[in-house]
A and B are shown apart, each in its own frame.
Chain A
Amino acid sequence: MNPKQPLVRMENIQKRFGKVRALKGVDFEVYDQEVVGLLGDNGAGKSTLIKILSGVYRPDGGTIYFQGEKVDINSPEEARKLGIETVHQDLSLIEKMSVARNFFLGKEPTKKIGPLEILDLKKMNRECMIGLKQIGIELRSPTEFVSTLSGGERQAIAIGRAAYFGARILILDEPLRNLSIREQRNTLNHIQEARNKGSSVIFITHNVHHVCPVADRIVLLENGEKLGEVKAGELTPEEIAECIATGQMIKVN
């Protein structure tokens, strides 16, 4: 693949909810093994944009290219088939199910017993522990219910799950929200780990200090439009925060 060609390219994406124009024609691209910070104030359209990429919403206009080819992403199922794994703000974990059952939800491994195709629970339990261990997460038991875990553990499972399935693009919506300082640091490590394993990461946040330590590039959204973008180190976090606050890009020399 041409390294200059983006892994995914979203062109002129539009989305309205009733009379509200949430996205007014946004261009957004992600390259191979890149961590992109998607930054903007509340209501800027960050979540809407990534929900279109992850198949939760359908855009009202615009085109999505995946590895240079035009694609329609009609459901989260289709997005996952392309290798787009998303960790939504509410984590997409089901509290009343075990860790292993959550881990493989939507991509459950099965085994055949005669004509019956049944869940391979043993494999689910084993693989989920191994998969989580690979990004440094030790759990007590794969059959433990998610409701018994801390916020940081849940975040780790959600990221570990996406990494396990070899995400081409890992989308994280506000991954550091409600985490302790140590959990935040662990989560940032998991993000870098996933990138080193070959995933591209889209990191959505409204806090510039969260994303600056890991992002290669930061895209700023404002009011449903792209305000601009900066490469790592071009602006200080304070300058970027200023851009968001004023809604104007500082000229980069």
Chain B
Amino acid sequence: MLIIQNQEIAHHQNEGIRSKWTFEELRKIPEFGALIAFLALFIFFAICAPRFFSLRNITSLLTIIAELGIMTVGISFLMIGGEIDLSVSSAYATAGFVFVTLANIFTFPLGSLLAFIVALLVSLLIGFVNSRVVLRGGIPSFIATLGMMMFLRGILLGITGGRSISYAGDSLVPSLLTGIMAYRFRPSHFWFIAIVVVFSFILNHTVFGNRVFATGGKKLAAYTMGVNVNQVKTACFMISSVLAGLSGVIAISRFSLANVSFGQGMELEAIAASVIGGTLMTGGYGSIIGAALGAGIMGMVRTGLVMAGVPSYWYNAFVGIILVIAAVVNLKLRSTILGE
């Protein structure tokens, strides 16, 4: 009898073992909307923009997507955990500046590696400070991280006086992160994919991930079930800022130049990519693979429009439309799953 019951239960599972790849099952996955949009836009640009569907373009597209995508993965994790981080763009620039400045000073062997580690530690610290301000200060993360965003950008401006810094360190970390490989692939493409796989796994298949969903879904309920919600949120803030920092170091390694306005406005692009990918701004629901697809959509629109002959000035207008459509479609999809 028990065996029969278990078989029945196994039949119902769409988590753990996937039962059937029917349309009904497929549209229950949170990244479904983003996947359809991604494929539709890809086909659209492949038809409308000559040379869009070429290896050379796809690899250069991947370079942009990877840098935005790594940041988007981090901010999605935090958004699922129920908070927001506007300071990612500043963490991105700060980590880049720390990296360039230190790599230029550390002329000893493996100097750039040490600079890289320090840059990531600084990013982690930014996330930790954000979490303290939000959790101890009790203010909304929107305000706390807006403050952090302006503060860090101001510090960078103040210290550099607006001057750019060229990269003069050793080539170890830049080539490991974003050096050009065969067919113009770059390591950052593979780092990005690895990060998506690892963080998607953490979110869906670990105890910590389960508690991120719970904390973002209903903080008080999670707390009464014995979840240390402050610890979970702190970890999410740190994941968000360290991935933003990593993204910044990758981008700055690619340009070999750190500029004060680096990454300005990118926080909203990352949030948009995250929402397009099916993540709920109010927390408790979302997908890392969706976040990656969201970043992919943003990157495709940016280069695809230019290649289709549309002046790049139109980029934001298109992204705005896509964002709103995606938010509405994702809401509809979600309501069929959540029965709300």
Hey, which bits of chain A sit against chain B, CB under 8 A?
54, 56, 75-77, 79-80, 86, 88, 90-98, 100-101, 104-108, 110, 117-119, 121-122, 125-126, 129-130, 133, 140-143, 145, 147-148
* Among B10, B17, B223: residue with most chain A CB under 10 A: B223
Residues of the A chain whose Cβ atoms lie less than 8 Å from the Cβ of B13: 122, 125, 141-143
Q: Provide the bound-state CA to CA distance between A133 and B8, in Å.
A: 13
Q: Mark B225-255, 1 if CB is under 8 A from A, else 0.
A: 1111000000000000000000000000000
Q: Provide the bound-state CA to CA distance between A253 and B226, in Å.
A: 44
Q: Mark B263-297, 1 if CB is under 8 A from A, else 0.
A: 00000000000000000100011000000000000
CB distance from A253 to the nearest CB of B (A): 42
Q: Are A108 and B210 in contact (CB under 8 A)?
A: yes
Can you name 10 A-B pairs with beta carbons within 8 Å? A56-B224, A76-B223, A94-B284, A96-B284, A98-B15, A105-B226, A108-B210, A117-B206, A121-B16, A148-B339
Q: Are B205 and A145 in contact (CB under 8 A)?
A: no
- CB-based nearest A residue for B201: A118
Q: Are B224 and A143 in contact (CB under 8 A)?
A: no
CB distance from B197 to the nearest CB of A (A): 13
Which residues of chain B in 1-15 are interfacial with respect to chain A, using CB atoms and an 8 Å cutoff? 2, 5-6, 9-10, 12-15
Q: Provide the bound-state CA to CA distance between A140 and B5, in Å.
A: 12
**Is the C-beta of B218 less than 8 angstroms from some C-beta in chain A?**
yes
Q: Provide the bound-state CA to CA distance between A101 and B10, in Å.
A: 16
Q: Are B210 and A119 in contact (CB under 8 A)?
A: yes
Residues of the B chain whose Cβ atoms lie less than 8 Å from the Cβ of A121: 15-16, 205
Residues of the B chain whose Cβ atoms lie less than 8 Å from the Cβ of A119: 205-207, 209-210
CB distance from A53 to the nearest CB of B (A): 12
Q: Are A95 and B225 in contact (CB under 8 A)?
A: no
Of the candidates B9, B213, B223, which one forms a contact with A101 in the assembled complex, judged by CB atoms under 8 Å apart? Answer: B213
Tally A-B pairs: CB < 8 A.
113
Q: Are B17 and A97 in contact (CB under 8 A)?
A: no
Q: Provide the bound-state CA to CA distance between A79 and B209, in Å.
A: 23
Residues of the B chain whose Cβ atoms lie less than 8 Å from the Cβ of A77: 226-228
CB distance from A202 to the nearest CB of B (A): 15
Residues of the A chain whose Cβ atoms lie less than 8 Å from the Cβ of B221: 88, 90-94
CB distance from A100 to the nearest CB of B (A): 8
Q: Are B214 and A145 in contact (CB under 8 A)?
A: no
Q: Are A142 and B205 in contact (CB under 8 A)?
A: no
Q: A140-B12, A143-B14 are in contact. Are A105 and B220 (CB under 8 A)?
A: no
**Is the C-beta of B114 less than 8 angstroms from some C-beta in chain A?**
no
Q: Are B217 and A129 in contact (CB under 8 A)?
A: no
Residues of the A chain whose Cβ atoms lie less than 8 Å from the Cβ of B5: 129-130, 133
A95-B217, A96-B338, A143-B12 known; 11 new pairs, CB 8 Å cut-off, are A77-B228, A88-B221, A88-B224, A92-B224, A95-B338, A101-B214, A105-B214, A105-B227, A108-B207, A121-B15, A147-B339
Q: Provide the bound-state CA to CA distance between A122 and B222, in Å.
A: 22
Chain B interface residue number, banded: 35 or more
Q: Are A96 and B9 in contact (CB under 8 A)?
A: no
Residues of the A chain whose Cβ atoms lie less than 8 Å from the Cβ of B224: 54, 56, 76, 86, 88, 92
Q: Provide the bound-state CA to CA distance between A101 and B224, in Å.
A: 15
Q: Are A122 and B226 in contact (CB under 8 A)?
A: no
Residues of the B chain whose Cβ atoms lie less than 8 Å from the Cβ of A94: 213-214, 217-218, 221-222, 284
Of the candidates A75, A86, A129, which one forms a contact with B9 in the assembled complex, judged by CB atoms under 8 Å apart? Answer: A129
Q: Provide the bound-state CA to CA distance between A161 and B155, in Å.
A: 51
Q: Are A122 and B16 in contact (CB under 8 A)?
A: yes
* Among B5, B14, B214: residue with most chain A CB under 10 A: B214
Q: Are A97 and B213 in contact (CB under 8 A)?
A: yes
CB distance from B331 to the nearest CB of A (A): 13
Q: Are B206 and A118 in contact (CB under 8 A)?
A: yes
Q: A77-B228, A96-B213, A125-B9 are in contact. Are A90 and B220 (CB under 8 A)?
A: yes
Q: Are A147 and B338 in contact (CB under 8 A)?
A: yes
Residues of the A chain whose Cβ atoms lie less than 8 Å from the Cβ of B337: 145
Residues of the B chain whose Cβ atoms lie less than 8 Å from the Cβ of A101: 210, 213-214
Residues of the B chain whose Cβ atoms lie less than 8 Å from the Cβ of A104: 210
Q: Mark B319-340, 1 if CB is under 8 A from A, else 0.
A: 0000000000000000001111
Q: Provide the bound-state CA to CA distance between A107 and B339, in Å.
A: 27
Q: Provide the bound-state CA to CA distance between A130 and B9, in Å.
A: 10
Q: A125-B13, A148-B338 are in contact. Are A80 and B226 (CB under 8 A)?
A: yes
- CB-based nearest B residue for A87: B224
Residues of the A chain whose Cβ atoms lie less than 8 Å from the Cβ of B6: 126
CB distance from B161 to the nearest CB of A (A): 48
Q: Are A76 and B284 in contact (CB under 8 A)?
A: no
Q: Are A97 and B16 in contact (CB under 8 A)?
A: no
**Is the C-beta of B302 less than 8 angstroms from some C-beta in chain A?**
no
* Among A75, A105, A126: residue with most chain B CB under 10 A: A105
Residues of the A chain whose Cβ atoms lie less than 8 Å from the Cβ of B338: 95-96, 145, 147-148
Q: A91-B221, A105-B222 are in contact. Are A122 and B17 (CB under 8 A)?
A: yes
CB distance from B239 to the nearest CB of A (A): 18
Of the candidates B205, B214, B223, B280, which one forms a contact with A97 in the assembled complex, judged by CB atoms under 8 Å apart? Answer: B214
CB distance from B237 to the nearest CB of A (A): 21
CB distance from B240 to the nearest CB of A (A): 20
Q: Are B205 and A118 in contact (CB under 8 A)?
A: yes
Residues of the A chain whose Cβ atoms lie less than 8 Å from the Cβ of B153: none
